[in-house]
Amino acid sequence: MRDTFASNLPNHEVLDWFTIQSAVPLGGRLNKHWLVNLKGERFVLRQWSNGTPLEDVEYEVNLLASIAQLGWPVAAVIEGPVMLAGNIWGLFPFLHGEPPSAADAKTEQRARGRLMAQFHYELSKLSGIGQRKDWRRCEEILIDYELDRLLSAHEQRRPEEVRILRWHLERARKRVERLELHSRPGIVIHGDFTPWNLRFHEGKLSGLLDFELAHWDHRVGEFALSWRGKYDEVVLGYDEVSPLDPAEWELITPMWWAGLIEGACRHLKEGKQDDGWIIKKLLERSPLMGQDAVPFR
């Protein structure tokens, strides 16, 4: 057990650089984090995932600094980023608080949607952030006919999966063809505005975590992982504070599907077998989908 715990700790080069005496693993989906103590205060040490380009790290670090200047409780880097032991590392403040209560899911979702709208208003003040490397808005995804080539290439081996993907791709393209999406404005979005990335203390927001999916997009692009085609109260709460225009209501579903299809086609290209999550999400239906709430057939 001790050897397993030790293997989860940063090596001595990293600990010495940041003058850290001890570290407790906090986990992470892509990036790894440790709770560390420096001079009696708690901080978070991050190791960006192996192979993360420096420009991607700098995008996130610069964005966090800009958001912190707006007065929002985000963890702007204190030290770093720095390359050590073959990875990129940074030291961040520890944000106190607890995730929102899940006792009343619809109330939490509605409140989160309202908070998201307030956050977007602040994000709209930022300028010069630009797009994150390798990210695309949905209109760029939908006109990429490499997706069609990949689906055709795998049709014999994975016929039902390809049939589902192609059906949703064609409907998404049809839905957006008159929306003139290229001319619509965008903002930087968080990308994963979910309960586990929020912290509250004494009823007030005390932490907004995990900007590893932040990028420039349509503002409704934020609904991809906060709505997920089923948590309608998030969208309705947002609309209470910052009403969506008709085109945005039309865009919600094809935007969500485009991201899922892009992920599925990336798996096909890399020869990976999806665990079923993408297809499951494509097949979910919500009243907010309007004409696209019809079942797959």
Domain boundary pick from 93, 121, 145: 93
Same domain, 67 and 15: yes
Query: Which structure tokens are listed for 269?
Result: 């290209």
What is the number of domains present in the chain?
2
Residue ranges of the chain with pLDDT lower than 50?
Answer: 1-6
Same domain, 223 and 125: yes
Q: What is the pLDDT of residue 3?
A: 36
Same domain, 122 and 76: no
What span, in angstroms and rounded, lies between the C-alpha atoms of 190 and 214?
4
Q: Considering the domain boundaries, does residue 99 fall inside one?
A: no
Same domain, 62 and 134: no
For residue 104, give the nearest of 112, 95, 96 by alpha carbon. Answer: 112
Q: Could you write out the DSSP letters of every residue in 106-173?
A: HHHHHHHHHHHHHHHHHHTT--S--PPTT---HHHHHT-THHHHHHHHTTTTSHHHHHHHHHHHHHHH
Q: Considering the domain boundaries, does residue 180 fall inside one?
A: yes
Task: Tell me the pLDDT tens digit for each residue of 99-119.
Answer: 999 899 999 999 999 999 999
Domain region containing 120:
105-293
pTM of model > 0.75: yes
Q: Considering the domain boundaries, does residue 48 fall inside one?
A: yes
Task: Tell me the pLDDT tens digit for each residue of 142-185.
Answer: 999 999 999 999 999 999 999 999 999 999 999 999 999 999 99
Same domain, 207 and 275: yes
Tokens 């992982």 correspond to: 225
Domain containing residue 141: CATH number: 3.90.1200.10
Same domain, 79 and 111: no
Domain containing residue 27: CATH number: 3.30.200.20
